[in-house]
Structure 1
Amino acid sequence: MRTAMLKSIRSSLQKSSSTAAGRRSYSSESAPERKVAILGAAGGIGQPLSLLMKLNPLVSSLSLYDIAGTPGVAADVSHINTRSEVVGYMGDENLGKALEGADVVIIPAGVPRKPGMTRDDLFNINAGIVKGLCTAITKYCPHALVNMISNPVNSTVPIASEVFKKAGTYDEKRLFGVTTLDVVRAKTFYAGKAKVPVAGVNVPVVGGHAGITILPLFSQATPQANNLSDEEIVALTKRTQDGGTEVVEAKAGKGSATLSMAYAGAIFADACLKGLNGVPDVVECSFVQSNVTELPFFASKVRLGKNGVEEVLGLGALNDYEKQGLEALLPELKSSIEKGIAFANKS
């Protein structure tokens, strides 16, 4: 039973949103050496994310970093009989060693959201953490693909871009805000309401990664369900936007969305690794530097490749409800982006 379960987990991780035949046949036998570093590995997201990345056959070296608790997490995860070698690093003085030679850096570091706390409340603490970690990335692995999970993503991605620009290492193709959890939620909620198998569902989610800036495009969902009313689409949109709050309230003060976020982070990191390794047609939604709207950053479908972002894809046809949602989110997303840039440049 354990073997079957492990195969199932590996299989789900190896499949991103689209699973072209070429991608399905790609195996670890042909995979090059790849180092993945997780910054914040001992936290609520970091621990399950470390487990999931240990299960990924595309990872040859797994570097776990946190300010405390990392040796225990690393020892625990290292006993799992999969390909990657695991090393844990603890404390500021070991951050450079953790990052050296990394191909992909995943950043879930920061404090979690608590009941009554908005994503904006997280800003000052997490912004400072992100700024420090990104400064280290510029020194030790400036060419890594950076997957930003730390909230508020709408601001932390712009912060990272400014840090990288100041250091002369910024490459817009290598910086990603991980919005995959919004896609995961939209797929799950849509499949449940439309009564279709969730494994075959795809729903693009564009905009940002907080509240109304999250815009699921259910008009582009596949398979298309014609049995959903306008009211049901509005409710699905609202639930996708409020998914994080739903979990925070359900955990009653004891945490936020850690397990589902770890899963989403592992899915996106897997897509990045596939892209680096030359797997064709790897497409995921992500918050990246973009010309899709007038804003400098925006989440939409992105084609991943050997250099990170190969192509930022357009929004496609939007219905009237989605056009209204797009207009409504732009001012709020603009404000969050500007707040991140201002924070990065104030000192």
Structure 2
Amino acid sequence: MTIYKIKNLRFYPKTLLYFYFGKILSRNYHVTIVGGGNEVGQSVALSLRTQPLISKLIVHDTVKHLPGIVLDLSHIPSNSAIEGYVGNDTLESAIQNSDLIIATGVTENPGLSAKAAFNLNIDFIKTLATCAAKVTPVPLIGIVTEPINILVPMAAEVMRNNGEYDPRKLFGITGADFLKAKALYATENNLKPENCTVPVIGGHSKETVIPLLSQVKPSCNWDQKKMEEFTVKFRSREELTRNVMKGWSPILSTVYSVSTFVQGICDALQSRPTILHAYVENNDFGTSYFAGLLNVDQNGAGEMQRYSNLSQFECDLLERCIEQLRKDVVKGKKILEYA
């Protein structure tokens, strides 16, 4: 029987909280959640609190109530350490020596318009990317902040401008698309989700995400109309959820995808074969950024899976997707010109 107790509690400038629970066993990796005080960040922190390969979970934000969030998380028995940092001037300290950074950001809700959330997230990612470029070695970075199509290229440009950028280490976390497609396909065909695979490629927006029904397993005998209906339903799922939630952005499936992403990264760092769904810098598909299933190892993103024998419907979607992704990437880079 393991008894957990607080060994020490220290306060640092900007109310850094540090709790250490028990003895660290085989956990090896430090994960930092930047934006850990918002709704998404808190949920991500909860999901990662007891992940077996995380030896230290670090939570950073600028909100004054962050120490209370960290204290609350410390009440969850875990053999990992947890730290909290408050304020932009503590950001570099928070991410120093981290193996992985998760950036959350704010989401659209009835009190925060899409435009306002976008502007806040621009500043958030710009600050993080600038700081991350100063850290040696640069950790792996997973961005779940919306809009991913735009903010990931912007983050890359910020880091490149600050002299430290490795495209293998920057990810847009898009696993929710892959999981959503699997769940919806299983429901439509009365199958068990664990027995289904639905590749999803493109970007991370209604106009750019593409479920490849020609590549599903087990295969379906749907006609063209049924495939088009499924694609429309899949692409509209987030909008439908937001409407049902009376204007609140869906976050639970996103948080679950972040948890699986972190687990996958930890596996990759341990040299285990890992495949993750992510939006990364990739020039193989007609645009400089693209999402899909990719191999990940200790160095970060590797080769992305490719597919042949796409249907004409999928080819048409892909053509329009690439056109939109090019615009999104340019927008992400041009934001910096007016900042």
TM-score when scaled to structure 2? 0.87
Question: In structure 2, the residue corresponding to 1:263 is in which secondary structure?
Answer: helix
Q: Alpha-carbon deviation of 1:89?
A: 1.4
The amino acid across from 2:205 in the alignment is: A
Question: In structure 2, the residue corresponding to 1:318 is in which secondary structure?
Answer: coil
Question: In structure 1, the residue corresponding to 2:134 is in which secondary structure?
Answer: helix
Quote the residue 1:18 is aligned against. none
The answer on 1:89 being equivalent to 2:81 is no
Does structure 1 retain, via aligned residues, the 8 Å contact 2:173–2:258?
yes
Q: Alpha-carbon deviation of 1:32?
A: 5.2
**Aligned counterparts of 2:177 and 2:211: Cα–Cα separation in 1:** 8
**Aligned counterparts of 1:90 and 1:171: Cα–Cα separation in 2:** 27
Question: In structure 1, the residue corresponding to 2:76 is in which secondary structure?
Answer: coil
**Aligned counterparts of 1:116 and 1:32: Cα–Cα separation in 2:** 38
The amino acid across from 2:309 in the alignment is: A
Quote the residue 1:71 is aligned against. 67
Q: Alpha-carbon deviation of 1:346?
A: 3.8
The answer on 1:248 being equivalent to 2:225 is no
The amino acid across from 1:145 in the alignment is: L
The amino acid across from 1:275 in the alignment is: A
**Aligned counterparts of 1:339 and 1:277: Cα–Cα separation in 2:** 36
Unaligned stretches of 5+ in structure 2?
1-23
Q: Alpha-carbon deviation of 1:78?
A: 1.8
Provide, for residues 133-161 of structure 1, a one-character-per-residue CA deviation record: whole Å limited to 9, x for no partner.
11111123552111011111001000110
1:306 to 278, 295, 298: 298
The answer on 1:333 being equivalent to 2:325 is yes
The answer on 1:131 being equivalent to 2:126 is yes
| Structure index of larger Rg | 2
Question: In structure 1, the residue corresponding to 2:275 is in which secondary structure?
Answer: strand
Quote the residue 1:48 is aligned against. 43
Coordinate RMSD, CA, aligned? 2.0
Question: In structure 2, the residue corresponding to 1:139 is in which secondary structure?
Answer: coil
Does structure 1 retain, via aligned residues, the 8 Å contact 2:27–2:52?
no
**Mapping 1:197-236, distance limit 5 Å:** 197-226=192-221, 228-236=222-230
Quote the residue 2:260 is aligned against. 267
The amino acid across from 1:78 in the alignment is: S
**Aligned counterparts of 2:88 and 2:118: Cα–Cα separation in 1:** 21
Q: Alpha-carbon deviation of 1:47?
A: 1.3
Question: In structure 2, the residue corresponding to 1:47 is in which secondary structure?
Answer: helix
Does structure 1 retain, via aligned residues, the 8 Å contact 2:104–2:143?
yes
Quote the residue 2:105 is aligned against. 109
Q: Alpha-carbon deviation of 1:132?
A: 0.9
Quote the residue 1:13 is aligned against. none
Distance 1:107 1:141, change over 3 A: farther
Provide, for residues 273-319 of structure 1, a one-character-per-residue CA deviation record: whole Å limited to 9, x for no partner.
11111112x11221111122221111122100010112223244311
Does structure 1 retain, via aligned residues, the 8 Å contact 2:134–2:164?
no
Looking at both structures, which has the greater relative contact order when contacts are Cα pairs under 8 Å and sequence separation is at least 6?
A: 1
**Aligned counterparts of 1:268 and 1:165: Cα–Cα separation in 2:** 24
**Aligned counterparts of 2:109 and 2:137: Cα–Cα separation in 1:** 30
TM-score when scaled to structure 1? 0.85
**Aligned counterparts of 1:38 and 1:170: Cα–Cα separation in 2:** 20
Distance 1:340 1:222, change over 3 A: same
Pick the structure with more helix per residue.
1
Does structure 1 retain, via aligned residues, the 8 Å contact 2:176–2:253?
yes
2:285 to 258, 274, 293: 293
Provide, for residues 148-177 of structure 1, a one-character-per-residue CA deviation record: whole Å limited to 9, x for no partner.
111110010001100110112100100001
**Aligned counterparts of 2:84 and 2:174: Cα–Cα separation in 1:** 27
The amino acid across from 1:82 in the alignment is: S
**Aligned counterparts of 1:199 and 1:215: Cα–Cα separation in 2:** 20
Percent of aligned pairs with the same amino acid: 28
Unaligned stretches of 5+ in structure 1?
1-27
Provide, for residues 212-271 of structure 1, a one-character-per-residue CA deviation record: whole Å limited to 9, x for no partner.
201111221222233x34333222212222222122111103x21111111111111211
Does structure 1 retain, via aligned residues, the 8 Å contact 2:209–2:235?
yes
Distance 1:223 1:140, change over 3 A: same
Quote the residue 1:279 is aligned against. 272
Distance 1:141 1:238, change over 3 A: farther
Question: In structure 2, the residue corresponding to 1:232 is in which secondary structure?
Answer: helix
**Aligned counterparts of 2:83 and 2:285: Cα–Cα separation in 1:** 41
